[in-house]
Amino acid sequence: MKDELVIFTRPKSNISEDIRTIRTNLQFTSADDSSKVLLVTSSVPGEGKSFISSNLGAAFAQTGESTLIIDSDLRLGRIHKIFGVSNKKGLSNLLVEQDVVDYSEYIKKTDVDNLYIIPRGVVPPNPSELLNSTSAKRIVEFLRQNFDRIIFDGVPINGLPDSLIVAGLVDRVIIVSSANYTKIDELNDTKKALEKIDANIAGVVLNRTAQTKRGKYSNYYE
């Protein structure tokens, strides 16, 4: 387990408290199954969405919810690296296979109780087309019936259609932005793009906060 999983390596840190607060807010605003599938995305690369996805997924698992993190960044996804699992078979492979009956070889158990992942798999030549397929819809519906919480770790919104496609498969979208890095125009463009497809935006997580009254966080963020 890499140091990025601060909710386990530094459970009493301020940042872990913040992650648990985000989890609690999401739980209180999702009283039914219509809000169990989330997409974590960002405006541009490097804002820390995989860090948030991983720690938020672990936080949900800590409450006893069976939680699945799906790496839907089929280009550069690195969830498998964070959790130290094989990337030989993952979401891309699952999407290519048309008649999968047994999902167990694609769903990887992590060292965290109640937490599972589907890594990105082999990089395909057509990520957007795969995510926009009927297979993707079928897979999400199947997984929805088998997990309490599902978190997609998606690509940045600006410049690629992938996460806009995934946004149509999930219940709510979390936007990750980075202090002193994300430009306000980029964040506004992301918000407008999601609103244009009627995505349900749960909120924005401000990552890499440089300084607060409770101390520096920057060393703990991706």
Q: What domains appear along the chain, each with residue ranges and CATH number?
A: 6-220 (3.40.50.300)
Q: What does the pLDDT read at residue 106?
A: 93
Q: What does the pLDDT read at residue 74?
A: 95
Q: What does the pLDDT read at residue 32?
A: 63
Do residues 135 and 95 lie in contact, with contact meaning Cβ atoms separated by under 8 Å? yes
Interhelix angle 14-28/49-62, rounded to 10 degrees, is 70
Each residue of 28-49: pLDDT tens digit? 876 666 689 999 999 999 888 9
Residues with pLDDT less than 70, the chain: 1-2, 30-34, 98-101, 209-222
